Chain A
């Protein structure tokens, strides 16, 4: 599919003026001349980490991070906010750490990418030239397949809370405002979606809140998948611990929303709170740039450099990518993608060969209550023959059981990955 978003021609005829600005802009605060300009779009786990590691490893690389929000809000740990176990302030972090290590953080929205001229246009009309572009666009929702979903989400009556921020606050209010005998229905889309264990963690945390505060309420977990897609046995155990309060149904795909009624294939479900996690694709930025060459949904990448296969020179990170086998869409993995990209970009700017044997790994902790958690971990080695990451045989796995100590590790994981990604 061709896109009008990437303009193959120049946005302006002012090439000479831009070149002059670019040369002036090359003066670097680090010692020695700049080895290049990298613009990173999207300040989530992928983009923030890329910006941070480009500075950490590249020294005099000029790095600009463009992000539409003024603060970073973490999706991991946000389910605890829904249950009242954590506050928004605890999952909201500043971009000040990145600024302090020399990243230029621009609060703004990208409106056009001129790949031929290597520059971006922002909503305020300004332009950003680059030598290498990194996009970490996250996910956006595919609402067309579910009747009534788009207007319900737009009105704010139905929440997804699958991007942490105002939606998280609003869903917490809906949960706390539920009547004592109310029904909370959680809808899980077919895989792949962002954070495989996330919906099941949400079910547990909301159940934990209801058990303590509204024990006569009911939580319906309606899963479009044929079974729990992550940590199945562990979540089944956790679900059982909530007794009749929590009811899980597989193959329960949402077809239509009408008021407080959700229509599935064979039944209608009425609930006081409808929390719909919609089906997902790569973020709009990647779509408008014409990078979705995998099922018209995800961005295929060259795993050695993280460049989009549809547009070499544009590196794409995180949930937006078409995952390698066994590779989850997670903040942890986006952080790891970013390090592969940062290392490769520095080599490419220097004209040196990129790492031919990159490794990435993943850890996802999930809470099953306000305090106890469990993990799934995996290690992935690049395979030169099949040109993709593959899980290392015999490695990885899940917790023997959820525990208090892993709950503490989960919070420490968050503290460390926030510091690592945001240079806190």
Chain B
């Protein structure tokens, strides 16, 4: 029996599955990031005392949110909100804001 055929069939299935999921959720990062806009501005273009998120690197945002989530980073409210999002959701949110121009 061909041992090698099994992993390649599996990887093909995985690729197809990933492809479908990606096609369906192409707007997931955008939609998730929109939950932040009430305070941080549309697409992260914040006003007033709020932290702008547009154009902030994905690494920095992910680290910040992970810090709020773990409690390492203190704040008035973000430590409560960050705990509502999975690590994967945070990754998608960070990628969306990183891709926005820093200025509106």
Contacts and interface: CB of A to CB of B under 8 A. Distances in A.
Interface stretch (A64-72, A126-134, A311-319, A375-383): A375-383
Contact of A395 (B24, B32, B47, B84): B84
Contacts of B47: 412, 415-416, 419
A399 B46 contact: no
Contacts of B76: 375, 399, 403, 405-406, 409
A113 to B, nearest CB: 28
B83 A375 contact: no
A343 B31 contact: yes
B80 A397 contact: yes
Interface in B13-59: 24-25, 27-28, 30-32, 34-35, 37-42, 46-50
Interface string B59-82: 000000000000000001100111
Given A360-B35, A375-B77, A417-B39, A355 B84 contact: no
Nearest to A397: B80
B85 A53 contact: no
**Interface size for chain B: under 10, 10 to 19, 20 to 34, or 35 or more residues?**
20 to 34
Nearest to A408: B49
A241 B5 CA distance: 74
Most buried by B among A360, A363, A412: A412
B50 A379 contact: no
Nearest to A52: B42
B85 to A, nearest CB: 7
Contact of A53 (B34, B83, B84, B89): B34
Interface residues of A, number: 45
A363 B24 contact: no
A396 interface: yes
Interface stretch (A158-166, A274-282, A332-340): A332-340
A351 to B, nearest CB: 13
Contacts of A377: 77, 80-81
Interface string A16-59: 00000000000000000000000000000000000001001100
Contacts of A358: 31
B77 A420 contact: no
Contacts of B50: 409, 412-413, 416
Given A377-B81, A381-B84, A416 B27 contact: no
A409 B38 contact: no
A324 interface: no
Contacts, number: 111
Nearest to B81: A377
Interface string B80-104: 1111110001000000000000000
A303 to B, nearest CB: 14
B81 A420 contact: no
Nearest to B46: A416
Contact of A392 (B30, B42, B46, B83): B83
B84 A343 contact: no
A353 interface: yes
Contacts of A243: none
Nearest to A358: B31
Given A339-B31, A357-B28, A409-B49, A332 B38 contact: yes
Given A363-B77, A397-B80, A412 B48 contact: yes
A396 B32 CA distance: 17
A78 to B, nearest CB: 17
A361 interface: yes
A339 B35 contact: yes
**What 9 pairs between A and B have smallest CB-CB spacing?**
A379-B84, A412-B48, A395-B84, A392-B84, A395-B83, A397-B80, A412-B49, A417-B38, A415-B48
Given A363-B39, A409-B77, 10 more contacts: A57-B30, A339-B31, A343-B34, A356-B24, A395-B81, A403-B76, A406-B76, A408-B48, A416-B46, A420-B41
20 contacts: A343-B31, A355-B27, A355-B31, A359-B31, A363-B39, A363-B81, A375-B76, A379-B83, A380-B84, A392-B84, A394-B83, A395-B80, A395-B81, A397-B80, A409-B49, A412-B48, A416-B37, A417-B39, A419-B47, A420-B38
Interface of A: 53, 56-57, 332, 335-336, 339-340, 343, 353, 355-361, 363, 375, 377-381, 391-392, 394-397, 399, 403, 405-406, 408-409, 411-413, 415-417, 419-420, 423
